[in-house]
Amino acid sequence: MAPFATKVIRLSLKAVSAVSAEAAGRAAFWIFCRTPSRKPRNGKEAALLKAAAPVMERSQRVTLSFAGGWVVARHFERRPGGSGPRVLLAHGWGSRSDYLATMIEGLLSSGAEVIALDWPGHGASPGRSLTMPQAVRAIDAAWRHFDGFDVGIGHSFGGASLACAAGAVLCDVPARVPEKLVLIGAPSEMTWSFKGFGKVLNLAPKAQAAFEGMVERLSGRRVDGFDATRILAALRKPVLVIHAEDDKEVPAEHARRYGTVGPNVELHWANGFGHRRIVSAAPVIDKISAFLAQERRESRLRRIA
């Protein structure tokens, strides 16, 4: 948020909190969930969208419905001769599937089938807000439509959402667990973002408690229950975590938390690419392709032996 807007919101919430901390917390939650404008913020983003257009035009647009809304996914069939995994690809907060065009190209070149989601309030999907329960329901809708995925790849919020979907954080949505997960610049838990946003808005303790309590109202689970490290530790599925130590949006400490989960998690540092350029960096895409091919290669070698 712009500094002036932040000051106005702080003063407004302080006034509301003086009357009702509960109302202030609810208001803070919906501000927190409001998605940014879809318009490119600068010339660089406009150029990225233009460059992505030829890639995105080769996909089939699919509408996926879930309780309370719908989203758009882009389906990229395997190229002729391709035998790679079916991949669910999820972008980060304030982004869209178009910004992952370079990664999509890399995955298609490796033989994969790719389904790229646009979250509610992002890209071609409707709305102006996004919550983690909505994201989990969108993943579930994609899972049901495409009959499951071999791999889930998510950047930032998208990575956290895939982990939460695998952990069945919603009581009415089954666990959606791919054989492999790739988390790129992804936060490891939601408490961090809620505490940080509360500090930005100078929320009083009771308003902060009401703000965090909205998560339990929507999901039936406390905010500290959305901890991706606990989920991955219980799953024991192969996970590749890619992060840059120079990431200024999601601190590298989140990747280090993932790294302590166990032997099923491989931590790979992609330093120098920050939080956004990391998704289109050639070394990162090569690393992901090698990770996805590893089991298939080992399986072929076992058959030969």
289 occurs within a structural domain:
yes
What does the alpha-carbon distance between residue 266 and residue 101 come to, in Å, rounded to a whole number? 25
Does residue 39 form part of some domain?
no
For residue 52, is it within any domain? no
Half-sphere exposure of 145 (CA within 13 A, CB side): 21
Looking at the fold, whether 128 and 163 belong to one and the same domain comes out as yes
Per-residue pLDDT of 109-165, as tens digits, reads: 999 999 999 999 999 999 999 999 999 999 999 999 999 999 999 999 999 999 999
Are both 184 and 163 inside the same structural domain? Answer: yes
Count Cβ neighbours within 10 Å for each residue of 130-168 and write b for 16 or more, e otherwise.
bbbbbbbbbbbbbbeebeebbbbbbbbbbbbbbbbbbbb
Which of 200, 224, 248 is at the close of a domain?
224
303 has a pLDDT exceeding 90: no
Average pLDDT, the chain: 94
Closest CA to 134 of 23, 227, 33: 33
Report d(CA 88, CA 75) in Å as an integer: 10
Q: 50 in a domain, yes or no? A: no
Domain that holds residue 203: 1-34+191-224
What was the pLDDT predicted at 5?
Answer: 86
Domain match, 120 and 206 both? no
pTM over 0.85: yes
Number of domains making up the chain:
2
If asked whether residues 119 and 142 sit together in one domain, one would say yes
Q: Are residues 99 and 22 in the same domain?
A: no
43 located within any domain: no
Query: Are 239 and 195 within one domain?
Result: no
How many other β-carbons are positioned within 10 Å of the β-carbon of residue 59?
17
d(CA 141, CA 220): 20
Same domain, 11 and 143: no
Whether 114 is covered by a domain: the verdict is yes
Question: In the numeric block, which tokens belong to residue 60?
Answer: 């089939």
Domain of 262, CATH number, reads 3.40.50.1820
Residues 77 and 180 both lie in one domain = yes
